[in-house]
Amino acid sequence: MVLRIPSLQSRFTKHFKSRLYLILVLIGCFVLVLQDRASIQATDNVSTKHNQSQTRLDPIDLVAWDSSGNYLAYLTFNSHTEASVSVSKSATQEIVGHLSNGEFYTLAWSPTDDVLAIGGEHGIEIWDKDLQTILTRIDLDSVTSLSWNPNGIELVALSGDIFANPVRKLIVWNTSTGEIVEILDNERLFAAMEVNWSPDGSHLTTIGESYVIWETQTYQPIMELDKDGQHFSGGPGDPLSSWSPDGQKLAVVGNDNVAANYVIQAWDVKSGELIGNLESPTAYLVTVGWSPNGNLIAAGGEDKMIHIWDANSGRIKQLLIGHTDSVSSVSWSPDSKKIASAGWDGTVRLWEIE
């Protein structure tokens, strides 16, 4: 089905440029397509193609499934300074809430409640699931990544104008009391673009010039991962890393342009050792997601496909084909049976994984 929403224009280059290995050039009038779900057989190397939209659409940069599996939220670039956020029912694709004309960069569902945190140029707002009411907000400068503590109370954000000061600030906000718990201004946050809370709440990761593990008792860095020449690729809000559900491993987008080596790096977070690389022969990867059951890892990038690996063997299981432009974001449903993917073709696509 095709849902038409008033068009704006194209967005977002002034805040994050080549220093972070990305250039976002975004064009078009906004029409959101939520494809009917397609059944994909879970056998090796299966490719399945969706019906294609023929309309040039605004890029969708981020998609996220809520903890109940009933709702999807997605962020769309609309103009040079504006973006929109929409929430739809995952079963029917009915849009239940929409915000436009905002300087939005990222979003994250609460793991315990049906509330959505939205980060942007002027701070963080927490909305009800229908995007009708702001429940609370905090003023911060240029919030480009958000992650909830699994307890649903603390929210961590990366904040700061990266051109004024490339060392970002890591801010932990207690959403119940409204108080800021911690503010970190550390050289290890240089060019940081993503922060990600571990499943048990005991650690944080930040992805930027360095890949750093932080413990959350004192919010001090305890480990820096050896990137081995790799760097992330992606933009504000893109899921650049993903924890395994047991909190023992971390998958990180890694790309080496010189060697044309495009991989998902899998790390043991206790030892800091690189377990292995999940290789993509063709795709400059920008997003990764570990399935909630721990069995699969999905990633997307410039080859317009979603790559799915067996998390235990490292063997490629499936290639999901349907997007007509780069895949910018992937998100697993809570039961690990579906993937939502967003792309620069202006579509969110739902895939059943059997």
Q: What pLDDT digit, counting tens, does each position of 90-115 carry?
A: 999 999 999 998 999 999 999 999 99
Span 163-191, average pLDDT: 91
| Interatomic CA distance for residues 124 and 111, integer angstroms | 17
Tally of domains in the chain: 1
Structure tokens at 209: 């010039």
| CATH classification at residue 166 | 2.130.10.10
The answer to whether the beta carbons of residues 345 and 331 sit under 8 Å apart is no
Domain containing residue 227: 2-353
| Interatomic CA distance for residues 144 and 153, integer angstroms | 19
pLDDT of residue 54 exceeding 50 = no
The residue that leads in pLDDT, 45 or 333, is 333
pLDDT of residue 44 exceeding 70 = no
The answer to whether the beta carbons of residues 131 and 85 sit under 8 Å apart is yes
Using CB atoms within 10 Å of the CB of residue 128, give its burial: 0 to 12 exposed, 13 to 18 middle, 19+ buried.
middle
| Interatomic CA distance for residues 127 and 61, integer angstroms | 20
Confidence grade of residue 203 (pLDDT, cut at 50, 70, 90)? very high
pLDDT tens-digit readout, 287-345: 999 999 999 999 999 899 999 999 999 999 999 999 999 999 999 999 999 999 999 99
Confidence grade of residue 142 (pLDDT, cut at 50, 70, 90)? very high
Structure tokens at 17: 């440029």
pLDDT of residue 125 exceeding 80 = yes
Predicted TM-score of the model (pTM): 0.83
Structure tokens at 12: 């977002």
Location of structure tokens 């044309």 = 260
